[in-house]
Structure 1
């Protein structure tokens, strides 16, 4: 089968000493500290074998994620920008939908021909976090398309427990749209998990501020509108994405680069628009914490929450007394597994209440998948989809 494979050099940075297990498994805990000079190539590889509890999925759609972009991009020394766990060589791609081609002998909830979307957080189900319900914090987690072969390929092997049937979307959508929107469930799930699971949700009527309106930020806008936010403000540096955010439910959008030419800061806008109260919920999905966190910290309402979804290997100074005085909180969130997240998003899309098709702004054939990732570095798209088959 054809697959987009990424290879890179294992060359730990000076001053970074990988743990013995990292070296043994060639699995870096922080990819940006170890993997250098990535090479992307569409290759002929073997169709994966499946185990008794697994299914073989013929991939139909696969989204390009910011994580893929950060693996493609290098810093001045040639190291990838992705700061999470990574292992290469690896078939890239983790936001996907497809058709079940083959099932293992112990699989009883899926059958040949089922249309599915699948979680990219592969949790073990055995460690203490998993057994406590914290699947996204699995101690043995594998990340599809980053530490384990992914979905920019004709076929992918997936565990039954990570797959969700999306046949119900056929009642409202065309088959093409079923596959395309199915591939969006993964990034939407990250926003859902951050706002409603890790963040505990919110009361209708609050103000929500979103920094960074890539796909996860756009999902945060759409979900917040659906959940009853009375005012949604979105900040980004790219006009194209801000325009999409407006169409998906943001009331007011602001280009941060344009604000830099004035004395006005995002915090000033938030305080002005909330009449000095501040925003009850602020979502960081830009991965730019050194800039965004101080802005959010200084424009939080009493009992306000910062939901940190963006990934960046950065430290940020905080005025902790502000958090104490306002009874505020900063909550980190990763992933989309568990808690009925996939099931609820599927039902919302099937009902017509969650409209996210506008998020898709470009599509590519599989032969152009490398170009799709290259183009993602401009960060002007909402979601780019690769039509695999």
Structure 2
């Protein structure tokens, strides 16, 4: 079968030392320190086969390009990939996917029925393959699994015709069939994973909001836009989005944003304070990956606002230092929390239910393409900010 594969050279930077979970020449938890000269190609690979009784073979119907895919394929001036996380190459890319079950092992249990998966079930999959045994997993933090594997990062992913996943990572999309039909069912299903990243960030890690609170979201990519939709449905009085792209700002309005700001032309601090009667926000989401640029505005809003006890959630991955002023957070009783991943806490089924209730995230899909076009669009997305989400759709 055809698959979109990423190849790169293992060439650690001089100051890099192998960690206890790294595997020389194959896998690292610090990709930007090791992998060099990435190349994305379409090539023939064997179709996956069931190896364990709990595994499921899925015919891929839709798979979106994530910013992580873009950053794995994007290099700095020295040729090192920009993505800082867990990576093992060569690998088939693609982790935001949905499809149809074609074969299931004898112990592959469908949570919807509590019986073995049957062919024809529409499903999506978690991207983080947690073990369920280590201390973080046992304490309810699967996103921080000590034995983590990630589909599309070090496990072959879904920019292909078929993919394999353990049943424990799969979630049925039957609930969406009342709202979405045909290809749109699978396009929506492919957005469950990135929407769950946003849900985990603002609800689980950020602590959510009370109806009537204000929120500020910095960055109108897929995660920021998903946060707009989630927080408006959670009862936010004012959802304020900062984003340079007009197209993305307009999408934010469609998804529920009350105020949108072009930070290249407007003063975000003044807009937020004016829009909230000087109170500021209860929750701030850093979804730009450019903390060295946006952090000063976050701090100034917190410092000048009358409201206290706010939370800043960092969800964008970035290998950059945050210029944080402790005094601001002490005096204003604010906090900073990090958010990684999407698994646990019932994030996936809740997002699916939100979509079934009318939260239509397919609005963020800018273009639907074929598998053979994915390498081209992974490159285009490095610079073309008018494209929000590009999604592969298989026949």
Give the TM-score, by structure 1 length.
0.95
Which residue number in structure 1 is paired with residue 379 of structure 2?
374
Q: Which residue number corresponds to residue 327 of structure 2?
A: 321
Aligned partner of 1:338 in structure 2 is 344
1:159 corresponds to 2:151: no
**2:105 paired with 1:104:** yes
SS of 1:245's equivalent in the other structure is helix
Match of 1:18 in 2: 18
Q: Which residue of 2 aligns with 1:194?
A: 201
Answer yes or no: is the 8 Å Cα contact 1:303–1:326 preserved in 2: yes
Match in the other structure for 2:271: 269
Is contact 1:210–1:235 with CA below 8 Å preserved after alignment? yes
What's 1:182 paired with? 189
User: Counterpart of 1:361?
Assistant: 366
Equivalent in the alignment of 2:290:
288
- Structure 1 residues 261-282: Cα deviation after superposition (integer angstroms, max 9, x where no partner): xxx3x22322222222211111
Count of residue correspondences? 383
In the alignment, structure 1 residue 245 sits paired with structure 2 residue 235: no
Measure, in 1, the Cα distance between the counterparts of 2:21 and 2:239. Answer: 45
User: What secondary structure sits across from 2:22 in the alignment?
Assistant: helix
Report what 1:279 is aligned to. 281
Structure 1 runs (4+) deviating above 3 angstroms are: none
Q: Distance in 2 between matches of 1:268 and 1:16?
A: 43
The answer as to whether partners of 1:244 and 1:382 remain within 8 angstroms in 2 is: no
Task: Measure how far apart 1:257 and its partner are.
Answer: 2.2
Query: Aligned pair in 2 of structure 1 residues 205, 121: CA closer, same or farther (>3 Å)?
Result: same
Please give the root-mean-square deviation of Cα atoms over the aligned residues, in Å.
1.3
1:224 pairs with one of 226, 231, 255 = 231
**Residues 7 and 39 of structure 1 are in contact (CA less than 8 Å); yes or no, is this contact kept in structure 2?**
yes
- Equivalent residue in structure 2 for 1:209, among 213, 216, 220: 216
Partner of 1:147: 154
Task: Single out whichever of 250-259 and 230-239 deviates more from structure 2.
Answer: 250-259
Q: Structure 2 length normalisation: TM-score?
A: 0.94
CA displacement, residues 214-270 of structure 1 (integer Å, 9 cap, x when unaligned): 0000000011111111111111222221121122111121222224xxxx3x22322
343-352 or 115-124: bigger deviation = 343-352
Counterpart of 2:108 in 1: which secondary structure? Answer: coil
Contact 2:18-2:24 at 8 Å conserved across structures: no
CA contact (8 A) 1:12 1:18 kept: no
Hey, what's the Cα distance between the residues in 1 that align with 2:289 and 2:179?
35
Superposed CA deviations along residues 301-329 of structure 1, whole A, max 9, x for unmatched, are 30101011010011112221221222211
| Between 302-311 and 241-250, the greater mean CA deviation after superposition | 241-250
Q: Secondary structure at the match of 2:193?
A: helix
In structure 2, list runs of 5 or more residues that go unmatched. Answer: 111-116
CA distance in structure 2 between the partners assigned to 1:188 and 1:111 by the alignment? 26
Alpha-carbon distance, 1:370 to partner: 1.1
Contact 1:206 1:230 in 2 (8 A): yes
- Measure the CA separation in 2 of the matches of 1:132 and 1:202: 24
Shift in Å at residue 23 of structure 1?
4.0
Does the 8 Å CA contact 1:213/1:241 hold for their aligned counterparts?
Answer: yes
